[in-house]
C-alpha cells in the first residue's frame, strides 16, 4: 500500500541521509568529495558482521566495536593518504583521485578476506508488524528510521552546540583565520573524518540489517545514491543532506510502488538532475560555494 511505501522510503532515505552527512561534513571542511566514503560504509557493515557472526558478540556490543573501528579507519585514511597531500598543498584533484584509490583498496581487501559472495546479515529489529490505517508496517523500518533520526539529531547537536562543532564551523568558513586563533586545523579535520566514518558504519549496519545481507560491493550503489542525496540537498549542508536523503528514499520507494523495481535507480538520479537544473547549488546549498 501507499503508506507502507512511504514508511519504507523514509527508513531507507534516513539511511542515505546518514551517509550523505559524511560526504557533506568532509566537503564542508576540505572542499573535497571523499569518494572512499562508500567503501567505508561497506567496511562498517562488515566490521559489525564479523562481531556478530564470527566473534559471537552481543549485537549492540558488535555495533559499538564496529563503529569505533570504522571511525579509526576514517582517521587512518586522512592521516595516511590526505594529510601528506595537504602539507604539500595538493588539495584538489590529487586528493580526489586519492580517495578513489583508497576506495578500491578497501573494497579489494574486503574481497580478499571475505570473498565476493553475499553474507547473511542478521535483522536487528525483526519484531513483526504494526497495522496503521490498514497498512502493515514492519517494526524494522520504523526502528531504522528512528535510529537514523536520533543519530542525525546527535550529529547536528555536535556540530552546532559543542566546542568541537564550533571549531569545525570556523575551519569550514576560514581555515587560516581559525589557525591564527589557536584552532588545530588538523585535529578538526581528523575529528570530521572520524564522525563521517562512524556515521557511515552505523548507516551500513542499518542498511545491511534492512536487506539482511552484506558483500564487498554492497556500498557501491548506496554510496552513489547518498552522494546524489548530498548534492540534491546542497553539498556541505547537513540539513540539506538529510532533506536530500529523504527525497531520494521516498521517491525510490514510490517508483517501486508505481513502476516496479526496474526503474528504482533511474528515478533517484532523474530527480537530482531535475532539481540541479533549476537550482544548481542544491535545495539548501549556498550560492557561490567553491567546488573542487
- pLDDT higher than 90, residue 67: yes
For 1-57, the pLDDT digits (tens) are 677 888 888 988 998 999 999 898 889 888 888 999 999 999 999 999 999 999 999
Q: For residue 1, what pLDDT is reported?
A: 67
Distance between CA 190 and CA 145 in Å, rounded?
28
Q: For residue 100, what pLDDT is reported?
A: 94
- CA 34 from chain centre, in angstroms, equals 11
Q: Which residues contact 58 (CB under 8 A, 6 or more apart)?
A: none
Residue 137 β-bridge partners: 130
- pLDDT higher than 80, residue 201: yes
Q: Give the cell for residue 271.
A: 530527480
Q: Which residues contact 10 (CB under 8 A, 6 or more apart)?
A: 141, 145, 246, 249, 250
Amino acid at each position: 500500500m501507499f503508506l507502507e511505501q512511504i514508511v519504507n522510503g523514509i527508513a531507507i532515505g534516513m539511511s542515505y541521509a546518514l551517509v550523505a552527512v559524511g560526504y557533506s561534513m568532509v566537503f564542508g571542511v576540505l572542499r573535497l568529495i571523499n569518494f572512499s566514503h562508500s567503501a567505508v560504509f561497506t567496511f562498517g557493515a562488515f566490521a559489525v558482521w564479523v562481531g556478530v557472526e564470527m566473534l559471537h558478540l552481543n549485537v549492540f556490543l558488535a555495533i559499538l566495536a564496529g563503529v569505533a573501528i570504522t571511525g579509526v579507519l576514517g582517521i587512518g585514511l586522512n592521516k595516511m593518504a590526505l594529510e601528506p597531500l595537504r602539507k604539500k598543498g595538493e588539495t584538489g584533484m590529487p586528493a580526489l583521485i586519492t580517495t578513489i584509490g583508497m576506495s578500491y583498496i578497501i573494497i579489494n581487501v574486503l574481497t580478499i578476506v571475505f570473498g565476493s559472495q553475499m553474507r547473511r546479515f542478521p535483522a536487528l529489529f525483526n519484531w513483526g508488524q504494526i497495522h496503521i490505517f490498514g497498512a502493515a508496517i514492519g517494526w524494522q523500518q520504523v526502528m531504522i528510521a528512528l535510529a537514523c533520526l536520533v543519530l542525525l539529531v546527535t550529529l547536528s547537536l555536535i556540530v552546532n552546540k559543542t566546542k568541537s562543532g564550533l571549531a569545525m564551523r570556523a575551519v569550514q568558513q576560514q581555515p587560516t583565520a581559525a589557525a591564527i586563533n589557536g584552532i588545530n586545523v588538523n585535529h578538526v579535520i581528523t575529528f570530521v573524518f572520524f564522525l563521517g566514518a562512524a556515521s557511515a558504519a552505523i548507516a551500513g549496519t542499518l542498511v545491511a540489517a534492512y536487506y539482511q545481507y552484506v558483500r564487498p560491493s554492497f556500498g557501491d550503489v548506496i554510496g552513489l545514491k547518498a552522494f546524489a542525496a548530498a548534492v540534491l540537498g546542497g553539498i556541505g549542508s547537513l540539513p540539506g543532506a538529510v532533506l536530500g536523503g529523504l527525497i531520494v528514499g521516498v521517491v525510490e520507494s514510490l517508483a517501486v510502488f508505481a513502476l516496479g523495481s526496474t526503474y528504482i535507480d533511474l528515478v533517484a538520479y532523474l530527480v537530482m538532475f531535475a532539481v540541479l537544473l533549476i537550482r544548481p547549488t542544491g535545495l539548501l546549498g549556498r550560492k557561490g560555494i567553491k567546488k573542487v
